[in-house]
Amino acid sequence: MSIWFGEVSAVPLNAMAGGTLIEGLGIEMLEVRDDAVVARMPVDHRTVQPAGVLHGGASVALAETLASWAGYLAVDREKFHVVGQEINANHIRPVFSGWVTATATPAAIGRRSHVWEVRIVDDAGKLVCISRCTLAVIEQRSTYGTAETRG
């Protein structure tokens, strides 16, 4: 049974990324499962630190993006909006090239807050980063992807 509110797919989420940090980092939503969302990000000139290894901040941006998308999908978007409240990350191993793939699953989905666990792995499936992101659920129609959010 799906945890999402209404019909969902990766296509509109990718469309929302235009002109944002998400697009700039090359983050792509891949899949919406019944209980998880999956995205990937390239390890390239946009996402590495000067030493040539995946930047921890890029991993955190991927984790928060995925947690926010998951929270967005899990609420009635006509009545609620989600915003990041706290995030932490443990960086486990370096990545120098290829792609990293992130999967967000719920640790807790409440009426006023969500906690999402995001696991990021490399092309070999080895754990690169594990993150936990808390979202506040606010009573406000979601404006993700609309002109209202872009000023």
Just list the catalytic residues.
64
DSSP letter string over the chain? Answer: ---SSSS--HHHHHHHTTTSHHHHHT-EEEEE-SS-EEEEEE-STTTB-TTSSB-HHHHHHHHHHHHHHHHHHTS-TTTEEEEEEEEEEEE-S---SSEEEEEEEEEEE-SSEEEEEEEEE-TT--EEEEEEEEEEEEES---TTSGGGG-
